[in-house]
């Protein structure tokens, strides 16, 4: 599928009412300071077939509805309409967000975009490149297909919002579009109070950002996921332990196959170590807990270590089980004791990783990150502006190397995995028989 779009209009959308003076200065938190200066991507596809209330002939009406509701929701999410200053605060000056309308080339219909989606082509439906922030914290692009379909592409600054905040923004926005603003909770801006910013951030959150990684989309059907979960729990977990979750099982499986295909690169004496990361939503882990409407980057990383010298064992079931256990142990460490130290600006986790990496380098080794993130079980397919729920919700080519992003399929039973790797590693993974047997469709 080759996607070509023609941008036919650009404008800036400002909040429908001015931000009060006492809210003009929005301080970034310590956690915001440690988040990548990239965009979180999301594309929502809607099939508005001929004869629908909002068919192609009514594209202006669709655009007007999106613009009006966007202007209204920005009064609630006012930092998104401001400008970041010196990477320390947002001047909530209501200068607005980017809004564009694009026409999709006639050779690409909505069904084409969904039947053989290419992550690099999906980027065309987005208003910005993901790898580097511009002046806007939020951009929206309305893409109009010739035969009655649209795609709404969003880019939200990761410097201001984590995945849950991005999803809550969309949830609130579509409620406003439906005239149901009074039924949704208001965002809460408390992150900087709980995690005050520091003068010196000791590591570069953009260190793993790259344009060189290749992103491909793989789909795991429900029966495959269930088989992998069962495989990793057989005779391994005690009766008191929960069986592997879908995300735990798929993370362990993808990691084990990646480890297997690259194992020949490392000798038994290799000083390279892989660090596996999983983001942990800390809203409910805090005391007292925060609501899901708490805006900002309210996550930390659970992590576990995998020496490269052990990768030769990665094809065994025992390795998969141990991977699940390590994932759980890493996430469990993100508790209130850990978060209290983070609130004081003491990031022991990152300090340990940085010092460990230095030690490995001195020995001629290297610490290599491999990260997983998940949008599964979030209500993305409930995003109804008033013309029905999305036919499909997608990500795009990722801005990082060695990253896997999970999203639900339309049915909610399967999982789409967007995997970003070096080109040579992707080729090796795609040639792995165990991996290919598990995936039902591939978006290259």
Residue 203 lies in a domain: no
Residue 200 lies in a domain: no
Q: Single out the residue of 287, 282, 324, 320 nearest to residue 301, CA to CA.
A: 282
Do 272 and 395 fall within a single domain? yes
Q: What per-residue confidence (pLDDT) applies to 282?
A: 97
Q: Cβ of 87: how many Cβ atoms within 10 Å?
A: 13
Residue 222, SS3 per DSSP:
helix
Q: What per-residue confidence (pLDDT) applies to 355?
A: 74
Residue 204 lies in a domain: no
Do 282 and 368 fall within a single domain? yes
Do 222 and 371 fall within a single domain? yes
Are 276 and 303 spatial neighbours (Cβ–Cβ below 8 Å)?
Answer: yes
Calculate the alpha carbon distances from 339 to 236, 290, 300 in Å: 31, 13, 9
* Candidates 55, 91, 384, 432; catalytic one: 384
* Candidates 158, 278, 293, 425; catalytic one: 158
CATH number of 385's domain: 3.30.559.10
Residue 199 lies in a domain: no
Q: What per-residue confidence (pLDDT) applies to 374?
A: 97
Residue 372 lies in a domain: yes
Q: Provide the domain limits for residue 260.
A: 214-438
Residue 374, SS3 per DSSP:
strand
Quick one: CA dihedral 344, 349, 350, 356, positive or negative? positive
Do 77 and 181 fall within a single domain? yes
Which of 194, 228, 249 terminates a domain? The answer is: 194
For the whole prediction, is pTM greater than 0.75? yes
Number of domains in the chain: 2
pLDDT 10s per residue in the chain (444 long)? 678 899 999 999 999 999 999 999 999 999 999 999 999 999 999 998 754 544 455 788 999 999 999 999 999 999 999 999 999 999 999 999 999 999 998 878 888 888 878 999 999 999 999 999 999 999 999 999 987 899 999 999 999 999 999 999 999 999 999 999 999 999 999 999 999 998 888 778 898 899 999 999 999 999 999 999 998 886 555 666 788 999 999 999 999 999 888 877 765 556 788 889 999 999 999 999 999 999 999 999 999 988 877 766 766 778 788 899 999 999 999 999 999 989 887 766 666 777 767 777 776 778 888 999 999 999 999 999 999 999 999 999 999 999 999 999 988 799 999 999 999 999 999 999 999 999 975 554
Q: Where are the beta strands (DSSP E) in 224-376?
A: 272-281, 299-307, 366-374
Do 267 and 384 fall within a single domain? yes
Q: Is 384 a catalytic residue?
A: yes
Provide the CB-side half-sphere exposure for 206 (13 A, CA): 12
Provide the CB-side half-sphere exposure for 150 (13 A, CA): 27
Do 33 and 77 fall within a single domain? yes
Q: What per-residue confidence (pLDDT) applies to 296?
A: 98
Q: Is 158 a catalytic residue?
A: yes
Q: Which two tokens stand for residue 338?
A: 């850990």
Q: In degrees to the nearest 10, what's the CA dihedral of 170, 172, 177, 180?
A: 150
3-state secondary structure 82-109: CEEECCCEEECCCCCEEEEEEEECCCCC
Q: Cβ of 102: how many Cβ atoms within 10 Å?
A: 20
The Cα–Cα gap between 136 and 84 comes to 9
Which of 194, 227, 242 terminates a domain? The answer is: 194
Do 185 and 224 fall within a single domain? no
Do 236 and 381 fall within a single domain? yes
Q: What per-residue confidence (pLDDT) applies to 53?
A: 47
């Amino acid at each position: 599928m080759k996607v070509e779009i023609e941008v036919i209009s650009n404008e800036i959308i400002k909040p429908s009412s001015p931000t009060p003076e006492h809210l003009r200065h929005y301080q970034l938190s310590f956690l915001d300071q440690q988040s990548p200066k990239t965009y979180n991507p999301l594309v929502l596809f809607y099939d508005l077939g001929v004869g629908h209330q909002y068919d192609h002939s009514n594209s202006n009406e669709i655009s007007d509805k999106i613009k009006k509701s966007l202007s209204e929701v920005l009064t609630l999410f006012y930092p998104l309409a401001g400008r970041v200053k010196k990477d320390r605060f947002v001047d909530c000056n209501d200068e607005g967000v980017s809004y564009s309308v694009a026409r999709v080339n006639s050779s690409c219909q909505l069904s084409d975009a969904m039947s053989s989606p290419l992550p690099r082509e999906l980027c065309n439906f987005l208003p910005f490149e993901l790898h580097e922030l511009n002046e806007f914290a939020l951009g929206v692009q309305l893409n109009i297909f010739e035969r009655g379909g649209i795609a709404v592409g969003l880019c939200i600054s990761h410097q201001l919002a984590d995945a849950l905040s991005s999803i809550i923004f969309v949830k609130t926005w579509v409620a406003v579009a439906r005239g149901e603003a009074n039924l949704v909770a208001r965002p809460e801006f408390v992150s900087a109070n709980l995690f005050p910013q520091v003068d010196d951030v000791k590591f570069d959150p953009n260190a793993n950002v790259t344009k060189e990684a290749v992103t491909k989309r793989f789909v795991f059907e429900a029966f495959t996921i269930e088989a992998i979960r069962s495989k990793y729990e057989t005779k391994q977990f005690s009766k008191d332990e929960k069986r592997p979750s879908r995300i735990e099982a798929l993370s362990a499986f993808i990691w084990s196959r990646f480890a297997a295909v690259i194992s020949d690169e490392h000798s038994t004496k290799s000083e390279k170590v892989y660090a596996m990361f999983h983001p942990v939503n800390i809203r409910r882990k805090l005391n007292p807990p925060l609501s899901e409407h708490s805006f900002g980057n309210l996550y930390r990383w659970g992590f576990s270590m995998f020496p490269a010298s052990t990768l030769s064992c990665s094809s065994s079931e025992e390795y998969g089980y141990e991977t699940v256990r390590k994932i759980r142990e890493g996430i469990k460490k993100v508790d209130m004791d850990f978060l209290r130290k983070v609130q004081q600006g003491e990031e022991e986790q990152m300090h340990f990783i940085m010092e460990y990496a230095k030690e490995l380098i001195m020995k001629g080794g290297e610490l290599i990150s491999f990260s997983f993130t998940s949008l599964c079980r979030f209500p993305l397919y409930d995003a109804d502006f008033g013309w029905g729920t999305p036919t499909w919700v997608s990500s795009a080519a990722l801005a990082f190397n060695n990253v896997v992003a999970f999203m639900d399929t339309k049915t909610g039973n399967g999982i789409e995995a967007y995997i970003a790797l070096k080109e040579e590693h992707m080729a090796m993974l795609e040639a792995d028989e165990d991996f290919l047997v598990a995936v039902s469709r591939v978006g290259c």
